[in-house]
Structure 1
Amino acid sequence: MNFIRERRRAFLLLLSVAFLLGFAAVSGRASAGQGGLVWLSWPREHVSLLAGATLIVLAAAALWGLTKSPLRTALVILLLFLGLPMAWLAMISASYSSGERELKAQDAPGRDDRRMILVHYDSFDPASCLYVHQDSPLGERAWQVACFMGEEGDAIRDAVWTSPERVRMTVATGATTGESHEVAILPSGQPEKVLLYGSQICPGDMRGDCQDP
């Protein structure tokens, strides 16, 4: 009886762990895109790893708890067949992910709930990106304002607030150095437009088609 009781507890514990991992994966996926909560950045960047881990833990729960089910073996094999490659690929991808360096952080004038952050990403395709972070009832949210990448020399050299609602950045694109762009920030913290690659301007939600400036 004690063995059965311990097996049941282990089964429920594994189900609880799988639920937490799955909830973290869903939360990370739901927070993707503009305005994502900063405290969900890790789940957002590791959705595949969390999903794979969820399937693996579910396989362990099925192996441990469904001792009398005729579907036990098939279910365990299916869960591991899906979960192991997903987790492995996610870990490989994470090992090649770029490091990031925060170059500048500055609060908006007269506001302590809004700040801009300039970040440089070191990778095979380096990038420098400017974000606006703004507090909300659920926590701090991040909005991408601009991202310059792809070719050596393309970068945001500096960024400053010209007012609490406008940010100006100085960029270098190829042979051109010192070009300035200014973007208005809406009350929600969302930028009025998003500059990408230094040659295109996209809608602030980044879900529409890019258009030439």
Structure 2
Amino acid sequence: MINGKENAVLPNDVTITLRPRTLLAGLFLSPLAGGIIWWVLSLPWNSANAPAWVQAVGSVGAVLVAMLVASRHSAQQIRLVREQEAEMLKKVVAIAKHTGNLTMASLDVLENKYGEFAGLDIVSKALDNSDYLLRQVSFDRIPQSEAALGWVELRHAANDVRRAVELAEHAPESFEEQDYHEAAEACQRAVDAVRRIESAATGHLPELVLP
């Protein structure tokens, strides 16, 4: 009897049946689940306030479900962001290695300072294409800070090598020993920058194995 009237909606006796295997699984898999089950079973289901307890348990269950859904959504978002970062780093590493190889090839051509710079037009066009690729990726889009700093260093170094190549291509008579040494120094900076990028990316790209 509630407030002098018989409750026709919910019975005074509420029975909850739990399968033993489900109960044991919850107890073993989650201490929180075990605590909740113990709390539910210890409630005074035979009292006149049983309907209120049913509502309370339902509210707690709704909160737990909302927490579970939010947690799962957050985990999916984190996984998606990590996958996008890994794809970006793959592109960055590939472009960086390509640019590093071009700077080395350019230095080999510039080393023939007493010849006619055979192949200079080829490396010049290749450096132009590499510069275009480097400018397509802004450093602030690179997810790893060390890789981003290496990217900036690589752009500057490759640009210095490119200027030396342009000088040798358009004014070979003006290309001097100092110009070659400056190009060699820029080439070394490019190689160091590539290594910095690769080293920073190894934590995000397990397949990238450094020598």
Whichever of the two has the greater Rg, that structure is 2
Shared fold, TM over 0.5 = no
Please identify which structure carries the higher helix content.
Answer: 2
- TM-score normalised to the size of structure 2? 0.28
Please identify which structure carries the higher strand content.
Answer: 1
Tell me which of the two structures has the higher relative contact order, counting C-alpha pairs closer than 8 angstroms and 6 or more residues apart: 2
- TM-score normalised to the size of structure 1? 0.28
